[in-house]
Chain A
């Protein structure tokens, strides 16, 4: 008899759990890790939504898109968070994403008018170096110097692709010449950001491709002011990270609520010191102290998603040719 009571208890609890709607958000790995924004975001959203927010990590941005394509319309995901403007054209072409109606007072250095995707953070790509070393002020100076850099492979890494777009946006048809001149500065090319940053910290290179916000991590989390980001006068390519709702979502209202929450103070104030990027909407309390020390590029570069999609393969071929000599 006792067992029946226990069984009934278990059944009723699971029934109670089943009544709480579940919102599934696919994102990249570092977002869901203990040190990323995931845990705090989950707590904050669950306080207001009366739902269970399930964050699922799936590699990085590009792997995320591949995953969504593989799953197609049957996907359990309601929201995909973590694509960037290099991927949004391909993401829209799948027809899997729905329009949103979120508006916000964005702090982005450009006007945002995308109807499918909502930005949640952004940053500038930049070369990070030790603060005591003099840094070049553009790609040509870098190429002429004997400074050693480590970069990521655009075929396997988001920042790697960002650098490809950066050089292309700044130099257009002259990009192959820049790459050819840079080739003797490049110590090596790594699979992902972690490998490259690890090599830089080990002293294998003078500079590493990362973000202007990277020194903020060292400053705020480690109280170490020894890292700085170089400002290039060609301008800096931006990465804008976005989220979108899947058309086949079985929780469309919750998904909309999540996208609105994403540009609210509760979400945006978590971003700077967990994702180490600029929030898309400046929180009411401002940026955390330490962010004011970060360098500000004079000019921001960003190819539109269609341009990005159309120059991508050409730029990759140029890169491969220049560095395979």
Chain B
């Protein structure tokens, strides 16, 4: 196909996607090639696959299904504290797993607030351990993310559309059918695929809340292959399986998510005439209170647990915090360098494979990427010297799927609306990028950068293999404190981590300004 005239070349984006794919498949190949002997997949691996799929499907389905009414309520309502609530939606997702689990159990555990409340009423404590516990925890992690992704879909419907619909006397049902359903049809598959991919590679959450080895996921099987059996071949095989599943989910999402966008508006303040009825107010209020309670209770448990320990943080914890901020900053820059060209290439119609490459970052087992990178780097350089850049790069690749979900819809609109105009004004290439593309993308860039920074701050990822004594990140330090019985100090360090992540997210997201208001 001859190249159409386009405001920017998709080559950079294709290159970035190629780089991501090379990193993921290259490390996988490195691990597979290093394997000596080993056995193939056994029956326990297939059981792990089955459990992984069931819990990932349930978790993704439930997270996104619940996110729809919550995002709709947040899109329709304006209230005091809304911005803070939306910012806090990012929090569960970025917590180190162990901290989040302890927070959740403080609320829903056998000795948690919920069960204590039931005991006062003379009822049995809730039983959280089991498949439902795994799903509950995954919804806790992913409902906020899904809500943010869907909320953005609502915000991309121009205010003028709602105004027009109201002028034409469309009732709530008609507005749903004309505006909201088509939007959901475009946004929901992507959100489902992202949450599915996250839950697919779950390990500690699934095991702890699953209540035993029944809740063995593929990631745990990889872990076992690596450290219990030192069977690198099987680790690579299982990791490949994970990639195939995620790749398939991503492909389906790309195919299903069809429909034209709504175009752009004039960024007028939004008014929703369909939300003025009492019933609508009550319904929206119900969902907002429910979601806020579900998310904020465990978070406040974490804050309460952490406050006493905050006073006794040692120098090494602060040093680790500094390292984490450095990693987060570097990883955010890397992420934008990868994601922006990829998003613009997708917007130019080079979608499919780039989007799939983008989502693979989530599916790749951190253990396998880390080991693969180690095998590749070890003969040529000192892995310790590269701890910071390697951690930042891997974190950037892991944040890529979220960034693309955020950037792509807007990039499509910007290129569709301003691309031809810019070409006719002879503003192709860099002038288009600087004067049209980036300024129009600013809110989405801010959101994506904020999410990437926060994620990177909280991620243990590959650091374990590259960790040298002088370079510990804050999550690693939290684990070390716990490993040394210092649970209180660990809770304090975890609160510091939560605060830093939220601050990074808030600053970058605010840097992009008004998108949460529109």
A residues at B contact (CB < 8 Å): 29-30, 32-36, 38, 54-59, 62-63, 65-67, 69-71, 74, 90, 148, 153-156, 183, 186-195, 197-199, 201-205, 214, 217-218, 221, 276, 316, 319-320, 323-324
Contact = CB atoms under 8 A, between A and B. Distances in A.
B223 A195 contact: no
B435 interface: no
Contacts of A29: 467, 476, 479-480, 483
Closest 10 CB pairs of A and B: A203-B111, A194-B482, A35-B484, A30-B483, A33-B480, A155-B224, A62-B227, A191-B204, A188-B211, A217-B485
Nearest to A55: B469
A57 B212 contact: no
A67 B465 contact: yes
B329 to A, nearest CB: 24
Given A56-B469, A195-B101, A323 B212 contact: yes
A35, A36, A276, A320 pick with most chain B CB within 10 angstroms = A35
8 contacts: A33-B481, A70-B371, A153-B213, A191-B204, A201-B487, A218-B485, A323-B214, A324-B214
A192 B378 CA distance: 28
A323 B480 contact: no
B209 A188 contact: yes
Nearest to B301: A202
Interface in B187-237: 203-204, 207-214, 220, 223-224, 226-228, 230
A205 B129 CA distance: 12
Nearest to A196: B208
B211, B375, B384, B485 pick with most chain A CB within 10 angstroms = B485
A148 B127 CA distance: 13
B98, B375, B468, B469 pick with most chain A CB within 10 angstroms = B469
Interface of B: 34, 44, 47, 98, 101-102, 105-106, 109-111, 129, 203-204, 207-214, 220, 223-224, 226-228, 230, 314, 316, 371, 374-375, 378-379, 384, 464-465, 467-469, 476, 479-487
A26 to B, nearest CB: 11
B213 A323 contact: yes
Helix, strand, loop or mixed for chain B's interface? helix
A124 B168 CA distance: 78
A57 B469 contact: yes
Contacts of A189: 207-208, 211-213
A293 B447 CA distance: 56
A90, A191, A201, A276 pick with most chain B CB within 10 angstroms = A191
Nearest to A33: B480
Contacts of A204: 105, 109-111
A35 B47 CA distance: 40
Contacts of A201: 487
A190 B214 CA distance: 12
A116 B129 CA distance: 44
Contact of B484 (A36, A191, A316): A36
A188 B220 contact: no
A148 to B, nearest CB: 7
A57 B320 CA distance: 15
Contacts of A198: 98, 102, 482, 487
Contacts of A59: 227, 464
Contacts of A186: 211-212
B110 A203 contact: yes
B98 A34 contact: no
Given A58-B465, A62-B228, A204-B111, A33 B211 contact: no
B213 A199 contact: no
Contacts of B479: 29, 194
A54 B469 CA distance: 9
A24 to B, nearest CB: 10
A242 B148 CA distance: 50
Given A34-B314, A70-B375, A156-B223, A193 B44 contact: no
Given A190-B208, A323-B214, A66 B227 contact: yes
A155, A183, A188, A199 pick with most chain B CB within 10 angstroms = A188
Contact of A32 (B101, B379, B469): B469
A323 B47 CA distance: 14
B383 to A, nearest CB: 9
Contacts of B209: 188
A67 B464 CA distance: 10
A315 to B, nearest CB: 12
A202 B208 contact: no
Contacts of A319: 213
Contact of B208 (A38, A188, A323): A188
